[in-house]
Structure 1
Amino acid sequence: MVTALVPIAPGSEELEAVTVIDLLRRAGVAVTVAGLGDGPIEASRGVRLLPDRTLAEAATEDFDLVVLPGGGPGAQALAADPNLQTLLRRHAEAGAWLGAICAAPSILAGAGLLAGRSATSFPGWLDEVADVDYREDPVVVDGRIVTSRGPGTAMDFALRLIELVCGREKAEEVEARLQRPTAQQLFAAGP
């Protein structure tokens, strides 16, 4: 079974975190949600998220995928956690998949994992990272690192992660069950 870790902190963007957690679980991925401390985390819009365990407890485990949700304050809190920095470097060296959306690609940059790579983020979060080939695509894959732009791209990001870790067939199966229309279908329906 594919395993994934989704670290969250106060101020994490709940739409990104919950979308990733939900869709990965729909694909059969064993997702562990880890908070910086014990108890519920208040996300960026006041939604309370309940982690499975603390990041300190999960940091010694190995996962196939580590996904970082954005939200400025949450990303800054996660970036300051030494357990996470160590975990990200260890997983990168082991060839695990790493994903980050919105402000969270800055965490990967701070860990030295985006040097010489293509990546995207919420506008402004990678501006001062000189050695990143910044893209404005909704989802960017470079090697085993996947980045995305923000809440509006969270579903595309999660589906791409599923495709990469579980296969295209599983990603298509999950997407079909979502009954998600294309933008063309939405706009053709009129007012």
Structure 2
Amino acid sequence: MWIGYAQHWTWLADADLAALDPMHRIGVAHPGWVNAWDLYCTLAGPTMLRLVGVGVIAVALIRRRWRTAVFLLITVEFCGLLLVAVKAIADRPRPATALVSAYSTSFPSGHALGVMVCVLAYLTVLLPLLRPSVRAWSVAVGVVVIATIGVGRVVLNVHHPSDVVAGWALGYAYFVVCLLLYPPRVSRADGTPAVPGIAR
């Protein structure tokens, strides 16, 4: 996506406009629609998820789950540093048709990246603690939040679709690197380690 933007790929620009234009027309005609999406993207966005992360990290520290706390710190909280760096390098302006105000540059989508990382990190920590019957629903909710937040940024015209795709991809890559380098040690709901042979 970054190369496509930098090299001015026509097909990528056309695809971005094809999604932004109808969403802009709908938004102009229906202000309530815009307000609803803006509220949703705020309440389920990365800022709120990182605030939740502060609380979860505090609980992990109180319970002496040091590895879990550090894992959440480097994923949920530190992914913002990656975003700032990449946005500064790409320096892509926001769509001129933005329906709400948004700070910083456009590429990649901070909401898409942040929500991807936060949801995956929380699921990694929480799934082993949940009953098997609840896990599938938790994953489904996570997928819906990730997808709808990305869609919402395009609906509001504050991001090109390519910004969102790039945010998802970079967020997933960052999460995988963190998971490989520093996986949390989480116990199952019955108290046994999620991976045999490890301690909490």
| TM-score normalized by the length of structure 2 | 0.27
- By relative contact order (CA 8 Å, sep 6+), the higher-ranking structure is 2
TM-score by length of 1: 0.28
Structure with the bigger percentage of strand:
1
